[in-house]
Amino acid sequence: MLRAGAALVRDPDPAAAARRAAEQALAAGNAADAAFVFATAGADLAPICAAVQDVLGTRATAAAAGHAIAAGEHEQHAGPAVAVLALAGMPAAAFAVPGEPGAAEAVGLEVESLLGRSACESDLVVVLADPLGLETAALMDGLAALAPAAVIGSGAAALPQRPVVASGGRPLRGGACGLVLTLPAPARIAISQGCRPITQPATATRIAGHWVLELDDEPALDRFRAVAGEPLAGDLRRAAESLLVAVPCNAATGAARNDAWIARRISGFDEARRAFAVAAPLRVGAALAFALRDPDFAREDLAHALGGMGPAAAGLHLCASDRGRALFRHEGLESALVARALAPAAVAALFGSFEIAPLAGSLAQLAHASVLVGFGAK
């Protein structure tokens, strides 16, 4: 039977925090088969992983540094802390791909080699990646080939100073690592993007790289201002904090559906060309809508996503760095809602730079979402 425990410890000594978090996570059992280890940004992952492995007695660990972390209802955004999710009672194996040319393409192949068989629906692949060291399009292509396995993932904190992911205690600068869990039943996965389309899709009739020049043959910035309304239309930067663009999953063509779009922030404005830029590759003909992001709807959207999850033995919450207190206005609120919905699950969370999850029948790279995973039903 799958057993799990999770704990978060705050301590100026990261190794001491890791040891205590591992001890508390292990309190539910005598041994662990694998563990996820999350640390706040700037931590040295090598001594953290060494301490966790010493306590848990396993090298099947995957670690990442995040902009924030959580375990259960306890969330940490600033200051040194370590969260550990210890797992036992199921086959688990760690994989690692160092940062080097071709690393992104190699992640999927490494997982296939590790499995030694065809992937199946009860396999859960969790990927933790250095966002500054991997070409994400190639990473996504390689991971998509692992279907029908469930694949989820997160980009760690974007920090150039030191490695932000580690496997089995070995830091990987510019690489990726993770765990493959073979579960008795498929994991349950839900996504909350925290915003909702408020316009019908418009066709991008002129595109220049990431710049949207025209929507339905009208200047794109004029359309943005009309949707934002006054007084936000006169303060574009402020308007862009709450008004995002809903991009179809393939980011190229096709009409946007309710369950097949991805929220992307507007990354720039060009008053002279009456255009705005979107942090996603686009093509002429793409169907774009505007989406509103606000705390009240974010809470409703999260509750809706969690409603189909049910109780579990263990859970992961892979979350965008601009969520948590930045979106919900209260530190710990989002983590508390997740922990209570998955109870009695042991849950750990990483607030990273991007998220990976299945969406509308394909694997998608998200940017402002919460990816929620529950496994080992109670």
Give the model confidence (pLDDT) of 300-319 as tens digits.
999 999 998 888 999 999 99
Residues 195-219: tens digit of each pLDDT? 989 999 999 999 999 999 999 999 9
Question: Given this model, what pLDDT does residue 159 score?
Answer: 87
Percent of the chain with pLDDT over 70: 96
- Place 45 in a pLDDT band, splitting at 50, 70 and 90: very high
**Would the pLDDT of 31 be above 90?**
no
Backbone CA torsion sign across 188, 300, 37, 129:
positive
What is the average pLDDT across 268-286?
A: 92
Question: Given this model, what pLDDT does residue 98 score?
Answer: 87
Q: Cβ distance 286 to 251 under 8 Å?
A: yes
Burial code (b: 16+ CB inside 10 Å, e: under 16) for 295-326 equals: eeebbebbeebbeebeebbbbbbbbbbebbeb
Q: Cβ distance 282 to 247 under 8 Å?
A: yes
The pair of structure tokens assigned to 52 is: 């966790």
- Residues forming beta bridges with residue 193, ordered by sequence position: none
Q: Could you tell me which residue, 288 or 135, shows the higher pLDDT?
A: 288
**Would the pLDDT of 331 be above 90?**
no
What is the average pLDDT across 134-149?
A: 89
What is the average pLDDT across 169-194?
A: 93
Contacts of 273 (CB under 8 A, 6+ apart): 211, 213, 221
**Would the pLDDT of 52 be above 90?**
yes
What is the average pLDDT across 360-371?
A: 91
Q: Residue 303: left (phi > 0), alpha (psi -120 to 50), or beta?
A: alpha
Q: Cβ distance 313 to 378 under 8 Å?
A: yes
What is the average pLDDT across 315-336?
A: 91
- Place 378 in a pLDDT band, splitting at 50, 70 and 90: low
Burial code (b: 16+ CB inside 10 Å, e: under 16) for 205-224 equals: bbbeebbbbbbeeebbbebb
**Would the pLDDT of 18 be above 80?**
yes
- Place 255 in a pLDDT band, splitting at 50, 70 and 90: very low
Question: Given this model, what pLDDT does residue 250 score?
Answer: 56
**Would the pLDDT of 373 be above 70?**
yes
- Place 260 in a pLDDT band, splitting at 50, 70 and 90: confident
**In 3-state terms, what secondary structure has residue 159?**
coil
Q: What is the mean pLDDT of the chain?
A: 91
Percent of the chain with pLDDT over 90: 71
**Would the pLDDT of 63 be above 80?**
yes
- Place 259 in a pLDDT band, splitting at 50, 70 and 90: low
The pair of structure tokens assigned to 34 is: 């694998």
Contacts of 292 (CB under 8 A, 6+ apart): 195, 196, 198, 242, 243, 244
Residue 370: closest CA among 313, 312, 293, 257: 293
Question: Given this model, what pLDDT does residue 201 score?
Answer: 92
- Place 134 in a pLDDT band, splitting at 50, 70 and 90: confident
- Place 362 in a pLDDT band, splitting at 50, 70 and 90: confident
Question: Given this model, what pLDDT does residue 28 score?
Answer: 59
